Amino acid sequence: MTLDVNPKSEAVQAASPAKIVLSGVSKVFERRNAGEPTLALQDVNLSVPEGTFVSLLGPSGCGKTTILRLVDGLVKPDGGSVLVSGKHPRPGPDMGFVFQAFRLIPWATVQANVEFALTSTSLSQKERAERASQYIALVGLRRFAESYPGELSGGMKQRVALARAFASEPEILLMDEPFASIDAQTRDLMQVELMKLWSQYRSTVLFVTHSVDEAILLADRVVLMSPRPGRVIEEIEVGLPRPRWQYDIRSTPRFVELRSYLWNAIRELVMNDPNSDFYAPTESGRK
């Protein structure tokens, strides 16, 4: 199958300056039991233009989350360099992180949870409260502002996590499978919520997912990664018009084409990886 990996569309922003640049990045993790170190990433090269939404897609264990941690400055590369806005990264209010687990403060209300993300900013207490209320309303939780996490459904908790991440209005938003722990119907609704929020604020987004459909639906560009040690195999422009919640994107020929191409690519990677539980070699090296 031949795929147009760089279609002409409004989503292609090649002229935008690079916000995130990984150059020849490698990362090794030592093992606690003194076994062989794990080479998580090897020679990763990636450039993310400012204001774009990029999905990282690949088999489990290929280093997608490690890339987020490198960009956030939580870990350092063992080889190569990571630059964010032209500087070595470090955690701060200009960078938001949304995790798979909600990570809400259980004894704090929704309002207090969102305000907590603003404590390191220069906003006054009144401004923090107003900003938090604004984003709580944007995710449709105004009536639950004084509720506690234990009183909320899983989808509602993730909406609080989104409001908290966007409230600081970060230049960069890192998202590590944020919708993986909620049911399929709520996940679909949360994807729409995310698209609407991002359409207003246009942070630079790196989004980790194992879902081919989710990667295509949300992103301007899908970065396909190899099994460990993770490397960038291919970068594909999605090339579908926005806003994508206003039409049935999954019925478009481009979506169907991309889904088939990416699913088959991942299947081939997993089937031909000797370290995979699904490794199934043949004489030709393919299943």
What pLDDT is recorded for position 12?
44
- Are residues 152 and 176 part of one domain? no
- Domain span at residue 271? 16-94+171-287
pLDDT of residue 158: 87
**Token pair of 98 as six digits:** 């949304």
Q: Is the pLDDT of residue 283 over 70?
A: no
274 and 133 in a common domain: no
State the CATH number of the domain containing residue 77. Answer: 3.40.50.300
Average pLDDT of the chain?
88
Structural domain includes residue 142: yes
Specify the number of domains making up the chain. Answer: 2
Residues sharing a CB contact under 8 Å with residue 193, sequence separation 6 or more, in sequence order:
139, 140, 159, 162
Q: Of the residues 109, 135, 169, which one is the last residue of a structural domain?
A: 169
Please work out, in degrees rounded to the nearest 5, the angle formed at the alpha carbon of residue 255 by the alpha carbons of 9 and 138: 75
Would you say 98 and 182 are in contact if contact means Cβ atoms under 8 Å apart? no
* Whole-number Å distance between alpha carbons of 143 and 260: 42
Does residue 153 lie within any of the structural domains?
yes
Residues 70 and 175 in one domain: yes
Cα separation, 114 vs 164, in Å, equals: 4
Tell me, yes or no, whether 88 and 188 share the same domain: yes
74 and 116 within one domain: no
pLDDT score at 9: 47
Is residue 282's pLDDT more than 60?
Answer: no
Tokens 């809400």 correspond to what residue? 104
Same domain? For 182 and 262 the reply is yes
Q: Does 7 fall in a domain?
A: no
Residue 114 sits in the same domain as residue 229: no
What are the tens digits of pLDDT across the range 158-175? 889 989 988 988 999 999
What lies within 8 Å, CB to CB, of 217 at 6+ separation is 191, 195, 244, 249, 250
Residue at 145 is within a domain: yes
CB–CB of 222/215 below 8 Å? Answer: yes
pLDDT at 182: 84
108 within 8 A of 50, measured Cβ to Cβ: no
pTM, two decimals, is: 0.87
Residue 5 belongs to some domain of the structure: no
60 has a pLDDT exceeding 90: no
In the block, tokens 């806005």 appear at: 85
58 shares its domain with 180: yes
Q: Are 174 and 71 in contact (CB under 8 A)?
A: yes
| Residue 3 located in a structural domain | no
Determine, yes or no, domain membership for 201.
yes
Cβ neighbors of 132 (< 8 A, separation 6 or more) are 111, 114, 115, 118, 163, 167
| Phi, psi values for residue 179, rounded to 5° | -110, 10
Average pLDDT of the segment spanning 2-27: 73
